[in-house]
Every structure is written in C-alpha cells, then in structure tokens.
Structure 1
Amino acid sequence: MSQEDQFKTIITASELTLFKEKKSKFYGYAFPLSNEETLKTYLDKIKKEHLNASHFCYAYQIGIENTTFRTNDDGEPNNSAGLPIYGQIQSFGITNVLVVVVRYFGGVKLGVGGLAQAYKTAARLTLEQCQIVTRTLKITFLVSFPYEEINRVMRIIKENRLKILDQNLQIDCKIKLSVRKMDAETVFGLLNTSQKIQIAKI
C-alpha cells in the first residue's frame, strides 16, 4: 500500500467466474463486505442459486488497521479450500471483501494439492474480474467557535483544502470537517491556536 492511511477494496460484486478441473466445476464470487452479519445473506443467496453444489467454501477479511479474517473449507480437507482463497485476498492486497467458491464434484478426486490449486485459481480469476479501488482513511472534526473567529478558521480550511461536510455559521459557529488521517495531527495543530476554537473528533 502506498500510504499508511490507504487501503484497497472492491466496490461492487464480481462477475460470476467458472473454473473447471477434471470434471469438477468451481464457480467464484466476490462481494464487498464491511461486517460479518452480511456474510449469511450472501451465502444464503448463493446456496439458492446452486442447490446441487457439493461445497460452498469461502474466505473474508474485514477491517483496515485491525483486520479480522475467516476461512471455511465446508467439508473439504482441512486448509484445502478456505486458506487458498484467503491467500488470494492477501495476494491482491485487499480488505473488506468476501470470496466464495462453489464446487460441483465431477466424480474425479483431485487430492489435497489439486483441490488447493483449484480453489486458488478460482479465487484469483474471480478477483481479477473485480474493480479494485484505493480508499483513504478519514477523520471527522467538529470545530466550534464564535463568529469573530470565522476569518481565521476559514483561512485555515481554504489554505489546506479541507473538505467541509456541514456548517452552521451563526453567532456560535460549527463546522464539520473531513480530514485525511495522516494529516489530522497537523490540521488539529493549525486550528488549535486559540482558546476560543474548540475541536473534537466525531
């Protein structure tokens, strides 16, 4: 990742992909995932679309600075499915993503090594179909000050090209700012030059 406050993710679900290996079929899906509660919704949807499938294996990673991940082999030999899928999530350097690979058994056993390679390939093909974007972590500040300080505050906002999310400019002014995380300490220092200006993270 290019900056410590940036991360990569997908913004929409992938196109359905299909990988075939010795008569077995592996269908791949990828979804944006921001919480574990959404996982069941996606799995239920896929299972309804593949009523005769043998296995529904998946891996996901959630979080930016503190990440959570999980892998599931769904009855395949240990670490032959979920872990290879997760390996591709790591390889693409993305987070907040779920990858599911649905297998239809074709009657020919692939062995643990063959299975791992097949699930890895299906996951890779799926993620290659995704639009991967770079996002930046932001911090929101609420700046409160009397109207007499408005010129000072607005000058700092303009000079540093800060994004105003909301503002209420009355006798007691309030401005909500979105600040890139790596710039937050600097911006806080610039604004925190008068006892009349109150700054709070929200």
Structure 2
Amino acid sequence: MKTVQQNYQSSFREKGSKFIGYLFPTSSKEDFENKLADIQSKYPDATHHCYAWRINPINIEEFTQDDGEPSGTAGLPILNKLKSYEMINCGCVVIRYYGGTNLGTSGLIKAYGKSAELSLEKASLKTVVPTKNFDITYPYDQQNEIDQLKNNFDLKEVDAQYTEKVTLTLACRAKQAEAFKQALLQLEHKGISVTDNGSGFVTLNTN
C-alpha cells in the first residue's frame, strides 16, 4: 500500500470544462470532510466537487461522491485510480467547471480518472507497511539480546522508556510477527517479557 504526506494539485481542460484535482493525506472521515470543506470554500462557484477516499490500512474503508454527475461517472473513476495505485489514508477531490459541452458517460469517466491520475503522478508516494506491535520489557543487562533481535527482524521502534527496566514499543512487519513473538517468548527466562499490542502500520519512504 502507498500513501501521501502532503497535498498535490493538477488541472487540465476537456472540451471547455476545467478539471482541478486535489490529492491529500487523510486518516478519518471527519478529517476528510474538513479538508473537503476548505476546497469547496476555495471554489464555491464550481459546477461539481466530486471525490473519493480510502482510509484505514488495517480494515480498508472507502467512499465515493458524484456530486450531481451521472451515477458512477465521477467518484468511482477517482476511487479506481486510488485503488490502482494501492493508495490508502488519502482522499482525492476533483473540481469541475462546466464548459458548455457535454462529455457523455465515457467522457466523464475518462476525465475524472485522468484528473485523479495527474495528481497521483505528481505525488511522492510513501509505503504503508502493516505491522503487529509489541511492548517488550527487559533488564538493562539483556540489551545485547534485544539488539540481536533487531538485527534478525525488520522492526521499528515506536517508543522507549528507561526506568528500573527498559520498555520498548516495537512495530514488526505483520508477516514476521509470529516468528518474532516466539523468539521473545524463548527469552522469558532471562527476564524479557512481551505484550501483544495488536495491529498497526508504519509509513516508510519509497525508494
């Protein structure tokens, strides 16, 4: 899966109509609605504000809106572009100023899809990796054991607390999670304890 961490904009004309695309990060329906309202206030005289969003890498949710265009000709092609790029935690709004010439069903689908794709092509995409998260508590003298685990597994440190013992919150790639947990359980006799914190995700730069 991929995502964006900043806003991207594109525009083009088709038979007199102007299409302006906005691609931006969003993590919830409420956040998307706030950003949509900002865009609508910037283009209050636009003919249509059509959009799609996809959120939640753990359990994907998605939504489309045609905003007065014929059903399935605007929001769905935008969503299909997001899906074809495997996008998550982002939304895309396409503003249309009607230019006086009807585009027809196929023309609308092509135009709204193109607008979304132009923004996606501009974007710097980040990789979203599903994880399992663990809290690990251990004595200071067991740091070498933990360092070895870090070398053997693809882990990202989310949090660290240093009190009488060390407590780390680590995100492990979901496909490695069971093996990582078993490796930790084998170290319980050394005072290393593990708590499963459920599913999550991390965002990485895409090379």
Which category describes the TM-score, using the shorter chain as reference length?
A: 0.7 to 0.9
Q: Quickly say closer, same or farther: Cα 1:12–1:113, change in 2 above 3 A.
A: same
Matched, 1:10 2:4: yes
TM-score (norm 1): 0.86
Q: Quickly say closer, same or farther: Cα 1:126–1:50, change in 2 above 3 A.
A: same
* Contact kept? 1:9, 1:96, Cα under 8 Å: yes
Matched, 1:134 2:127: yes
Q: In the alignment, which residue of structure 1 is the partner of 2:81?
A: 88
Q: In the alignment, which residue of structure 1 is the partner of 2:172?
A: 180
Task: Write the distance in 1 (CA, Å) between the matches of 2:171 and 2:34.
Answer: 34
* Contact kept? 2:51, 2:78, Cα under 8 Å: yes
Segments of 5+ residues of structure 1 without an aligned counterpart are 1-6
Matched, 1:191 2:184: yes
- The alignment-based identity, stated in percent, is 33
Matched, 1:166 2:166: no
The residue matched to 1:29 in structure 2 has which SS? strand
Segments of 5+ residues of structure 2 without an aligned counterpart are 198-207
* Contact kept? 1:19, 1:121, Cα under 8 Å: no
TM-score (norm 2): 0.84
Q: Which amino acid aligns with 1:20?
A: R
1:12: how far off? Answer: 0.9
Number of residue-to-residue matches in the alignment: 189
* Contact kept? 1:156, 1:190, Cα under 8 Å: no
Matched, 1:72 2:61: no
1:169: how far off? Answer: 4.1
Q: Name which one, 1 or 2, has greater alpha-carbon Rg.
A: 1
The residue matched to 1:75 in structure 2 has which SS? coil
